[in-house]
Amino acid sequence: MVRRVIRSYRTIALWIVATSLLFSVACAGGTTPTPTAASSPTPAAAVQPSPTTVPSPTPTTPPTPTPVPTPTPSAMHGTPTMGHGMGMGMATPPVQNEFREGPFILRNVWARAATQADGLSAVYMVIENTGDQPDRLLHAHCDAAQTVELHETRMEGGVMKMQPVDGIDVPAKGTVELKPGGLHVMLIGLTRDLNPGDTIEVELHFEQAGHVHVEATVVKP
């Protein structure tokens, strides 16, 4: 009987010890910065080399583009899909239109507003190939620009690199999206202002399908 009482006390004591231990852990956890918490003084930020205000001995850019306060990979939204454009900035396409020609359905064709003085703009769209043959967009022509080129923006370690591409492959029964941060049709040497609401004529030249004509709606930048 006495033993029982003693033992039940022991259980209670064990409980108290265990809960108080957990509480202390909880409190400590609450006050110490968790490595993942962005709002608390993060060790991650402390580990990051601080942006050097010390002038570098060589004024030339270091060959390895490692921006000092590089966002953590977890913060790099959309990084995995950056190769062919990131689904960002615009959750919904700014324009909803559709053009059908041959095996192609071209959707959401839009251009960014720009002045003739700016001289530059870009056209984006979704190209769907419903045919059984793969095709390739070779070049494009536009009535509002002297030169039209196909370009691709790529992200490498937080650095934006843009380069002309020879063509854009559109697989059979496949879709290619031209969007900000990825593939785009570049308008160089604008011959007039592109104001929001305007439409511009764009002719796409495909390797197999030949000429495909679309109209891009100009959207507020």
Question: Within 189-218, which residues bind another protein (CB under 8 A)?
Answer: 189
Residue 6 interacts with another protein (CB under 8 A): yes or no? no
Angle (CA) 140-145-151 rounded to 5° is: 50
Kindly tell me which residue out of 2, 31, 47, 50 binds another protein, with binding defined by CB under 8 A. Answer: 50
Question: Minimum distance from CB of 4 to another protein (Å)?
Answer: 7
Q: Which is nearer to another protein, 29 or 132 (CB)?
A: 29
d(CA 149, CA 162): 12
- Map tokens 């006390």 to a residue: 9
d(CA 164, CA 201): 21
What Å distances lie between residue 19 and 7, 10, 14, 27, 31, CA to CA? 18, 14, 9, 12, 18
Quote the radius of gyration of the chain (alpha carbons, Å): 29
Q: Which is nearer to another protein, 25 or 172 (CB)?
A: 25
Q: Which stretch binds another protein (CB under 8 A): 111-119, 125-133, 167-175, 201-209?
A: 111-119
Residue 13 interacts with another protein (CB under 8 A): yes or no? no
Question: Minimum distance from CB of 212 to another protein (Å)?
Answer: 22
Residue 45 interacts with another protein (CB under 8 A): yes or no? yes
Per-residue string for binding with another protein, 161-180, x by CB under 8 A? xxxx---------------x
d(CA 196, CA 207): 32
DSSP of 97-123, one letter per residue?
A: -EEEETTEEEEEEEEE-B-TTT-EEEE
Q: Which stretch binds another protein (CB under 8 A): 41-49, 126-134, 168-176, 204-212?
A: 41-49
d(CA 196, CA 116): 14
Question: Minimum distance from CB of 167 to another protein (Å)?
Answer: 14
Residue 114 interacts with another protein (CB under 8 A): yes or no? yes
Per-residue string for binding with another protein, 120-149, x by CB under 8 A? xxx-----------------------xx-x
Kindly tell me which residue out of 13, 16, 27, 78 binds another protein, with binding defined by CB under 8 A. Answer: 78
Give the burial string for 140-157 (b: 16+ CB within 10 Å, else e): bebebbeebebbbbbbee
Kindly tell me which residue out of 84, 136, 141, 151 binds another protein, with binding defined by CB under 8 A. Answer: 151
Residue 40 interacts with another protein (CB under 8 A): yes or no? yes
Question: Minimum distance from CB of 87 to another protein (Å)?
Answer: 9
| Inter-residue contact 110 to 218 (CB < 8 Å) | yes
